[in-house]
Each structure stands twice: as structure tokens, then as C-alpha cells.
């Protein structure tokens, strides 16, 4: 299948003709240029996917300096545009110099057709990969900007949260790896985004990976990427999350769910600061700031042999513990007002507030689901409310104790939700034990918790 466009720059018309005949079978558009002096104009009008550039254009000169000069000019216009250099004079030092200045590869005349085509197709794949990374970064940047435009976090007034706020602002300015701990629903990803917002990498992307939802068989592909043909469904090259987060922040949520064998692969990437795509052998350097999160006690997991001690030390330069909502109930009135304002706007219901009795009820509740549960409860109350002042009866807080239901009077989803809640309570929110009791895998349980916002 023909893909992409290529620009060939060479002063030999016979070479241009031969390459056009050969490459028209592989590229959608082949453009020929006999002089590099027209490069600036052409690149302003229409940028090709790759350039095949001769290194010598003046008669009697074979130093390659002309090619290096025009390579630099091309990179000034588009730093991500792959340039393959073309010369009849093979010189190792010249090739090394060209690669250091940004060339993608180096082809010697007379060329081997198969090798030339493979090199150019690899350069095209590189171009596509860079586009994918750029698009993902732009999308993530816009998302981060939207999140930051609306106040995305309510710190509250409790001493514990004010101390946490000061700690976050302090560590955000460093590149130290951070481990965020806390129960489910305490807002670990929100804190990660707050760290990113105040970090030196705030203009870069924050790429979040839910480790609990990544299948073991796809771990390397998701994080490190893969090349076309590396496995059955690898129909195109794919950029991994590490590459996408380059010069930004990589957030690994639920890091405690990662199996022991995969922990070694992650550790190797973190130590070497480079990754290798599945099916490839070329190391790719990455520059990331790592933030991890878990609701598990990783020190206990280390003692049980479930988590690597060296990986724990690698990700845990600074540990940030988020207190549960029941430990800071003085924040509930402010949090309630914060979420009420958010959902009043979303559902076009103005001036909604809570009565004093309703606030007392919210503060008296145990909140096993923490902030996430409070947010869901307030959203539901806003949707169902018929008045502007929410009363005690507008809040349904019956999840603190196991619930018995008649299956004939409820939906299958509601029954499943209650079964999960009861199992979680019996197992003190230990996800592995809960999954075992329910007869499902941990990733399946995790997906259901996200589905039901538990």
C-alpha cells in the first residue's frame, strides 16, 4: 500500500528518474528537486513526510558539507521531518556527523533497492510516530488547560490538607519521583495533576496510565510501544506512554497492581531512562517525571514478596499520603459547596445549597468511598432535587453497611453493585481478597469499581 509523500533532492537527473520510477510504487507522492536552493520555498508551501537528500551538489566537491548545511536548514523549518542522506562517497565520520545533526539514516550510491526502500519506509514510520506523539501531547495539553481553567481541586480547611498543599507546592518544583498513597476515592490523580500544574514540566503532557486496567500481555506495548508486525495485531507502529510523556510527566495509577515479573521491566526502563519498542532493538531515550499512586501498603507488599524493594525505592523519593475523608470531616461543608456549584452549573440549577441538617448528615457518614463517593452523592442529589435547598432526605447514604436486596425488585447492575460493596466491606477494601471471593480477576473487579464509581 502506498503511503505518504517523499521529496528527493539530487542534481543528477538520471538518479532522479530512476528513483521516481522505483518509489512511485511505495509512496503516494514523489517530488523531485534538482537543486536544494528551492528547498525553503517548497517546504513553506507543502511539507513532505520524508526527504532523501544528496550530500554534494557542486562539481568536484565531495566533502558532504553541502548536504550537512541543507540538513540544518531543513531542521530549522521542521525539526521532526526525517531526512535520509544520499552520497556516492561513503565516510563513517561523515555519517556519524550527519546523524548527530539530526539525519534519520545514511544511504550510499549505488544503492540496493530493497535496502533503500526499507530505510525510507522506516523513516516514514518515524514521521508517523512523531506526529502521533505531537498530537497526543497537544490533546493532553488542551485537556490540562481545560482542567486548570476550572478550579479542579478544593483543598478544604483541615490542617492535614493544608500541610499536604504546602508539601505539594514544594515538591512540584523538583523532578523527584513521587508516590501518592491513600484509600480509593481520595483524589490521587487530582493531586498528581496539581503536581504537574506547578512543576517545571507544566507545559508538557501528563500521561496517565491505569495499571489496574492494563493486561499483562499488553503491558510492554502500552508503555513502550511496538513496531509494525511485532505481533499479530500490530498492523502499524505505535508510540508507548513513556514516549508520549517525554519532557512531561508519566502518572502510573494503581502501581501496586503490577505483577512481579512486569515490575522488573518497569524498573529497567526507569533506571536506564530509555525504552525499546516491542519488536525493535533500538533504545529510545526518554526524559520523564514519574508520579505513581496506590491504595496499597507497598512496604507490606515488599515484606510479603509481592513488590520489588528496589522498584519501591525508585518510585518513592517523596511519598505523599492523602488522608481519608472521615479523617477530615471539617472539610465536608466546603467540599459540598464546591461540588454543588459544579453540578448546579452542569445541570442548569441555580443557587443550590445544603441545609444545616443535611451537612450534619454528610459529616456523620463514614464515607468508605471518600471524595469520589461524596462527589457522586452530591451530583445525584442535584439531579433529583426539586428545591434549591437540599434536605436530609435528598441524600441516600445507605452504603456504609451491607445491604440485603430482593433480586426481583432491582436491576442486575444494582445487584452486582451491592454484591461488590458488601464483599469490599467484608475484606476491608482489599481488592485481591474481594476479587477472589467474587470469583473474578482483579482487573475485572477494578473495571467494575470504575464503572459503578465505587
- pLDDT (tens digit, 9 = 90+) per residue, 73-97? 888 888 888 999 887 766 667 777 8
408 pLDDT higher than 70 = no
Return phi, psi of residue 274, to 5°.
Answer: -150, 155
Nearest CA to 295 among 180, 400, 445?
Answer: 180
Give yes or no for a contact between 366 and 400, defined as CB atoms under 8 angstroms apart: yes
Q: What are the structural domain ranges in the chain?
A: 5-128, 150-321, 325-394, 407-451
Provide the CATH number for the domain formed by 407-451 in this structure. 1.10.10.60
Note if the bond before 173 is cis, omega within 30 degrees. Answer: no
Domain 325-394 in CATH 1.10.8.60? The answer is yes
pLDDT, residue 88, reads: 73
Q: Which residue has the higher pLDDT, 433 or 139?
A: 433
pLDDT, residue 90, reads: 61
pLDDT, residue 450, reads: 78
305 pLDDT higher than 50 = yes
CA distance 269 to 265: 6
CA distance 4 to 49: 6
Residue found under cell 523527584: 176
Instruction: Read off the pLDDT of each residue in 140-152 and give the average, rounded to a whole number.
Output: 56
Instruction: Read off the pLDDT of each residue in 177-192 and give the average, rounded to a whole number.
Output: 94
**258-282 CB burial, b ≥16 within 10 A, e <16:** beeebbeebbebbeeeebbbbbeee
pLDDT, residue 404, reads: 43
pLDDT, residue 401, reads: 46
pLDDT, residue 120, reads: 92
Instruction: Read off the pLDDT of each residue in 368-373 and give the average, rounded to a whole number.
Output: 91
Instruction: Read off the pLDDT of each residue in 434-450 and give the average, rounded to a whole number.
Output: 81
Q: In terms of CATH architecture, what is 5-128?
A: 3-Layer(aba) Sandwich (3.40)
Q: Which residue has the higher pLDDT, 327 or 440?
A: 327
233 pLDDT higher than 80 = no
Instruction: Provide the CATH topology of domain 150-321.
Output: Rossmann fold (3.40.50)
Residues paired with 208 in a beta bridge: 251
CA distance 352 to 374: 16
Q: Do domains 5-128 and 325-394 have the same CATH topology?
A: no
pLDDT band at 238 (very low <50, low <70, confident <90, very high): confident
Amino acid at each position: 500500500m502506498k503511503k505518504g509523500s517523499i521529496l528527493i533532492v539530487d542534481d543528477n537527473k538520471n538518479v532522479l528518474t530512476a528513483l521516481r520510477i522505483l518509489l512511485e510504487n511505495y509512496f503516494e507522492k514523489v517530488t523531485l528537486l534538482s537543486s536544494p536552493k528551492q528547498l525553503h520555498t517548497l517546504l513553506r508551501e507543502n511539507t513532505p513526510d520524508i526527504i532523501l537528500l544528496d550530500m554534494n551538489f557542486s562539481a568536484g566537491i565531495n566533502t558532504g558539507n553541502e548536504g550537512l548545511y541543507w540538513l540544518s536548514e531543513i531542521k530549522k523549518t521542521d525539526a521532526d521531518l526525517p531526512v535520509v542522506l544520499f552520497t556516492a562517497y561513503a565516510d563513517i565520520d561523515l555519517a556519524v556527523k550527519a546523524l548527530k545533526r539530526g539525519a534519520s539514516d545514511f544511504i550510499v550510491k549505488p544503492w540496493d533497492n530493497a535496502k533503500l526502500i526499507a530505510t525510507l519506509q522506516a523513516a516514514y514510520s518515524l514521521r508517523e510516530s512523531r506526529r502521533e506523539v505531537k498530537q497526543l501531547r497537544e490533546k493532553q495539553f488542551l485537556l490540562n488547560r481545560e482542567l486548570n481553567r476550572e478550579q479542579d481541586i478544593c483543598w478544604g480547611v483541615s490542617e492535614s490538607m493544608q500541610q499536604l498543599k504546602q508539601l505539594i507546592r514544594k515538591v512540584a518544583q523538583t523532578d523527584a519521583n513521587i508516590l501518592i498513597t491513600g484509600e480509593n476515592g481520595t483524589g490521587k490523580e487530582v493531586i498528581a495533576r496539581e503536581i504537574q500544574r506547578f512543576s517545571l514540566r507544566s507545559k508538557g503532557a501528563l500521561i496517565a496510565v491505569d495499571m489496574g486496567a492494563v493486561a499483562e500481555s499488553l503491558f510492554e506495548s502500552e508503555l513502550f510501544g511496538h513496531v509494525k508486525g511485532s505481533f499479530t495485531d500490530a498492523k502499524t507502529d505505535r508510540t508507548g506512554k513513556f514516549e508520549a510523556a517525554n519532557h512531561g510527566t508519566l502518572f502510573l495509577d494503581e502501581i501496586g497492581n503490577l505483577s512481579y515479573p512486569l515490575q522488573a521491566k518497569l524498573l529497567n526502563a526507569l533506571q536506564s531512562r530509555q525504552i525499546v519498542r516491542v519488536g525493535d532493538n533500538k533504545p529510545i531515550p526518554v526524559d520523564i517525571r514519574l508520579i505513581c499512586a496506590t491504595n496499597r501498603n507497598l512496604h507490606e507488599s515488599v515484606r510479603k514478596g509481592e513488590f520489588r524493594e528496589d522498584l519501591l525505592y525508585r518510585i518513592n523519593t517523596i511519598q505523599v499520603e492523602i488522608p481519608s475523608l472521615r479523617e477530615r470531616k471539617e472539610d465536608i461543608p466546603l467540599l459540598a459547596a464546591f461540588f454543588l456549584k459544579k453540578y448546579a452549573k452542569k445541570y442548569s440549577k441555580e443557587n443550590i445549597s445544603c441545609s444545616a441538617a443535611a451537612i450534619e448528615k454528610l459529616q456523620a457518614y463514614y464515607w468508605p468511598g471518600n471524595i469520589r463517593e461524596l462527589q457522586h452523592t452530591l451530583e445525584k442529589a442535584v439531579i433529583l432535587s426539586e428545591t434549591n435547598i437540599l434536605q436530609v432526605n435528598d441524600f441516600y447514604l445507605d452504603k456504609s453497611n451491607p445491604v440485603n436486596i430482593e433480586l426481583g425488585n432491582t436491576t442486575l447492575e444494582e445487584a452486582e453493585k451491592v454484591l461488590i460493596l458488601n464483599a469490599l466491606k467484608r475484606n476491608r477494601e482489599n481488592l485481591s481478597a474481594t476479587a477472589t471471593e467474587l470469583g473474578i480477576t482483579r482487573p475485572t473487579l477494578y473495571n467494575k469499581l470504575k464503572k459503578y464509581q465505587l
